[in-house]
């Protein structure tokens, strides 16, 4: 069992100074738009997955003010895991001061990850504590392009098995190299026998990735169908079909053979358009209800429910592989659902050890959780204690009496991250 017990943020988007304690169970963060609710969950996700779920470039995470002054952004979390405490710090140091223009973003950031003071790569952090995020943007899993569904599988498998992420990174480098070679071949600037080496690399890494995805889909599919039926009732007949770019097989060797055949068959296409034409970078999976492709025909509520079923299946998969349930994050994921679907979803999701929920509409959740959850109001980058009715306390949780102690801790955390960052130069 694992849960986040403390979160300290410095210059993280609009959360410039925050130090909050968290408990297991359900915590609701509510408040108007643009106050920092999603940013809070983004920080928690970052501690687990080592990446933001929404920033295109991680320099966006540094508060505008800090980017101007060259100060660093810090996400500092304490995680309780099997009776032990794990301290994870992710720091971003702007490497150049930005220009006058607040969001001109004319700077880069250097990222540094520490777990219990030891330097870690992103690949080493992911999987230490699992997380599953339910977000309003998940509708894209159903209606968006295949890349979103591959990302879903990749994040899930990377959390389940760190070796998967390494293999994936290697595979993408191989695809790039091979594409480069295909271009040179077409221009007559390389010999065709050079391709054999890259084909071998491509097939070896690609077949293992396909195999792992195939096995994951085998578990995810029935779980997704079950959750979907629980949420929407038995009338809708869901099918989930993995659509790999190369034929599946009973073992990795068989997939390797299929991959080689597919590559040979694609050689004309690759000559016409010098881009690696087959492999897991072209995979997809398909969701149909009563035969209708949900990528095209889903209603908003249907797409939303399907996405939620996928996320519930993801949480269940991680729990079964890691023997430990994920931290569950709900970012504004409850809108557009009718009351009964919302209740059924919350019943399922709130059995995990720690569940953090954000909403603009307290009434959407307090009838379900009642006094059984912790409530906080988020306003202007600060977090205020509240009760379930929305009566907000007078002082934010991280200021007033704790201010002095807080400053000390932030200084200490900054020092740790400073030291960490200095060592990379
Ligand atoms: P909503 O209910 O609309 O989803 P929210 O409370 O989830 O709102 P956030 O997405 O957390 O809001 O954003 C909070 C505020 O932080 C927004 O005003 C946003 O523009 C601002 N913001 C985003 N990035 C930065 C940054 N790098 N520096 C300063 N502020 C930022
Ligand atoms: Mg938000």
Can you give the CATH number for the domain in which 184 is found? 1.20.1050.90
Q: Judge whether 8 and 410 are in contact, CB under 8 Å.
A: yes
Half-sphere exposure of residue 141: CA atoms within 13 angstroms, side-chain side: 23
Measuring from atom 11 of ligand 1, which residue has the nearest CA? 36
Residue 188, in any domain of the structure = yes
How far apart, in whole angstroms, are the C-alpha atoms of residue 158 and residue 132? 12
pLDDT in tens, 284-308: 999 999 999 999 999 998 999 999 9
Same domain, 316 and 339: no
Confidence band, pLDDT 50/70/90 cuts, at residue 378: very high
Q: Say which ligand is closest to the CA of 29.
A: 1
Q: Ligand 1: does its nearest atom lie under 6 Å from the Cβ of 332? A: yes
User: Is 69 inside a domain boundary?
Assistant: yes
Statement to judge: residues 116 and 145 lie in one domain: no
Q: Does residue 358 sit in the same domain as residue 297? A: no
The verdict on 126 and 149 lying in the same domain is: no
Q: Where a domain ends, among 323, 352, 381?
A: 323
Residue 341's CATH number: 3.40.50.300
CA distance 27 to 368: 13
pLDDT band at 249 (very low <50, low <70, confident <90, very high): very high
What is the Å distance from ligand 1's center to 300 Cα?
25
Residue 404 has pLDDT above 60, yes or no: no
Q: What percent of the chain has pLDDT over 70?
A: 91
Is the per-residue pLDDT at 151 higher than 50? yes
Per-residue DSSP letter, 393? P
Residue bearing the bigger pLDDT, 398 or 206:
206
Cα dihedral 249→254→259→260 (10° resolution): -160
**Residue 421 covered by a domain:** no
- Integer Cα distance of 99 and 120 in angstroms: 31
For the Cβ of 14 lying below 6 angstroms from any atom of ligand 1, the answer is yes
Which residues form the domain of 115?
1-130+331-412
Which parts of 65-188 are beta strand (E)? 73-81, 84-94, 109-115, 118-120, 131-135
Taking a C-beta distance cutoff of 8 angstroms, is the pair 330, 345 a contact?
no
- Mutation probe of ligand 1 site: the residue of 34, 381, 384 with most atoms within 8 A of C-beta: 34
262 — alpha (psi -120 to 50), left (phi > 0) or beta?
alpha
Does one domain contain both 340 and 319?
no
Instruction: Tell me what pLDDT residue 400 has.
Output: 39
**pLDDT the model gives residue 402:** 45
Quick check: 166 pLDDT over 50? yes
Domain identity same for 82 and 168: no
Question: What residues contact 383, with CB distance under 8 A and at least 6 apart?
Answer: 18, 20, 29, 40, 376, 377, 396, 397, 398
Pocket test for ligand 1, best of 10, 38, 137 (most atoms within 8 A of CB): 38
Quick: pLDDT tens for 303-342: 999 999 999 999 999 999 999 999 999 999 887 788 888 9
Does residue 59 contact residue 67 with C-beta atoms inside 8 Å? Answer: yes
Instruction: Assess whether 156 and 200 both reside in one domain.
Output: yes
End-to-end CA distance of the chain, in Å? 37
Ligand 1 in contact with 36 (CB < 6 A)?
Answer: yes
How many A from CA of 135 to the centre of ligand 1? 15
**Whether residue 251 is found in the same domain as residue 179:** yes
Residues 212 and 243 in one domain: yes
Q: Is residue 361 part of a domain?
A: yes
Of 289, 323, 357, which residue is a domain's last? Answer: 323
The number of distinct structural domains making up the chain is 2
Residue at 417 is within a domain: no
Residue 238, beta-bridge partner list = 289
Give yes or no for residue 37 CB within 6 A of ligand 1. Answer: yes
Same domain as 213, residue 348: no
Domain boundary among 276, 303, 323: 323
- Inform me whether the pLDDT recorded for 100 exceeds 80: no
Q: Is 34 in the pocket of ligand 1 (CB under 6 A)?
A: yes
Q: Are residues 232 and 356 in the same domain?
A: no
Mutate to test the pocket of ligand 1, among 9, 28, 37 (most ligand atoms within 8 A of CB): 37
The alpha carbon of 255 and the centre of ligand 1 are apart by a number of angstroms equal to: 45
**Measured between alpha carbons, how far is 222 from 333 in angstroms, rounded to an integer?**
23
How remote is the CA of residue 333 from the centroid of ligand 2, in Å? 10
Beta strands in 231-317 (DSSP E): 238-243, 284-289, 292-293
Residues 11 and 73 sit within 8 Å (Cβ to Cβ): yes
33 lines ligand 1 (CB under 6 A): yes
Domain identity same for 93 and 179: no
71 within ligand 1 shell (Cβ under 6 A): no
Q: Tell how far the Cα of 52 is from the centroid of ligand 1, in angstroms.
A: 14
Q: In this structure, is residue 422 part of a structural domain?
A: no
**Residue at 61 is within a domain:** yes
On whether residue 215 sits in a domain, the answer given is: yes
């Amino acid at each position: 069992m694992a849960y986040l017990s403390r979160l300290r943020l410095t210059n993280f988007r609009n959360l410039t100074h925050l130090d909050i304690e968290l408990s297991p169970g359900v915590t609701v963060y509510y408040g108007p738009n643009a106050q920092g609710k999603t940013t809070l969950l983004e920080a928690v996700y970052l501690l687990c997955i080592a990446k933001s779920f929404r920033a295109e470039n991680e320099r966006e995470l540094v508060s505008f003010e800090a980017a101007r002054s060259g100060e660093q952004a810090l996400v500092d979390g304490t995680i309780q895991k099997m009776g032990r405490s794990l301290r994870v710090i992710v720091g971003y140091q702007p490497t150049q001061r930005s220009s006058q223009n607040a969001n001109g973003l004319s700077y880069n950031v250097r990222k540094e990850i520490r777990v219990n003071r030891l330097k870690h790569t992103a690949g080493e952090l992911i999987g230490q504590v699992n997380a599953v995020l339910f977000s309003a943007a998940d509708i894209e899993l159903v209606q968006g392009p295949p890349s979103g569904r591959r990302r879903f599988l990749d994040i899930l498998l990377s959390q389940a098995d760190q070796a998967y992420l390494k293999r994936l990174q290697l595979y993408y480098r191989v695809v790039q190299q091979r594409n480069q070679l295909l271009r040179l071949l077409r221009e007559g600037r390389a010999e065709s026998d050079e391709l054999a080496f890259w084909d071998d690399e491509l097939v070896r890494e690609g077949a293992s990735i396909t195999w792992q995805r195939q096995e994951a889909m085998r578990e995810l599919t029935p779980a997704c169908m079950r959750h979907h039926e629980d949420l929407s009732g038995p009338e809708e007949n869901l099918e989930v079909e993995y659509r790999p770019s190369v034929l599946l097989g009973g073992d990795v060797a068989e997939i390797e053979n299929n991959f080689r055949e597919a590559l040979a068959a694609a050689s004309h296409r690759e000559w016409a358009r010098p881009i690696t034409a087959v492999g897991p970078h072209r995979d997809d999976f398909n969701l149909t209800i009563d035969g209708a492709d949900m990528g095209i025909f889903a209603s908003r509520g249907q797409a939303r429910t399907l996405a939620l079923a996928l996320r519930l299946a993801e949480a269940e998969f991680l729990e079964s592989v890691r023997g430990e349930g994920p931290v569950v994050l709900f970012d504004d994921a409850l809108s557009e659902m009718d009351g009964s679907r919302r209740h059924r979803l919350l019943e399922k999701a709130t059995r995990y050890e720690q569940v953090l929920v954000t909403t603009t509409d307290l009434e959407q959740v307090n009838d379900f959780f009642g006094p059984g959850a912790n409530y906080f109001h988020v306003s202007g980058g600060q977090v205020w204690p509240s009760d379930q009715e929305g009566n907000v306390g007078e002082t934010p949780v991280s200021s007033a009496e704790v201010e002095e102690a807080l400053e000390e801790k932030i200084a200490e955390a900054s020092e740790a991250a400073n030291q960490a960052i200095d060592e990379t130069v």
